[in-house]
Amino acid sequence: RKEVEQDPGPFNVPEGATVAFNCTYSNSASQSFFWYRQDCRKEPKLLMSVYSSGNEDGRFTAQLNRASQYISLLIRDSKLSDSATYLCVPRTGNQFYFGTGTSLTVIP
């Protein structure tokens, strides 16, 4: 079983739309969780950490459900610059586990 499963998409949405990405992880010992963003052929960059109570950063909202081992990311009012691949990343000890990512294209 994969450590992290994400819907690969692609998600093609118009500007201004709301889009949600989901992710499940297999290791119940995972201690912390992150969403990374990766632009084409570039390095992954941290978008936001995910806290148990859920957290928001501007247009982005992350949720964690430890019981279901499920993480989500909601993007509101999508911008063209949001086009990227979004990676769900649980951390267990020193190990970060990367999913294959979900591709988002925001269309004018």
Partner 1 sequence: NAGVTQTPKFQVLKTGQSMTLQCAQDMNHEYMSWYRQDPGMGLRLIHYSVGAGITDQGEVPNGYNVSRSTTEDFPLRLLSAAPSQTSVYFCASSRQGAGTDTQYFGPGTRLTVL
Residues that bind partner 1 (CB under 8 A): 4, 31-32, 34, 41-46, 49, 87, 89, 91, 93-96, 98-101
Closest separation between CB of residue 2 and partner 1, Å? 9
Residues 6+ apart with CB under 8 A from 33: 25, 49, 50, 62, 64, 71, 88, 89, 90, 91
* Residue closer to partner 1 (CB basis): 75 or 101: 101
* Residue closer to partner 1 (CB basis): 12 or 18: 12
Provide the CB-side half-sphere exposure for 15 (13 A, CA).
5
Between CA 9 and CA 21 the distance in angstroms is: 9
Q: Which residue has the tokens 């019981």?
A: 67
* Residue closer to partner 1 (CB basis): 73 or 78: 73
Closest separation between CB of residue 11 and partner 1, Å? 16
* Residue closer to partner 1 (CB basis): 31 or 108: 31
Helix (H, G, I), strand (E, B) or coil at 100: coil
Closest separation between CB of residue 107 and partner 1, Å? 22
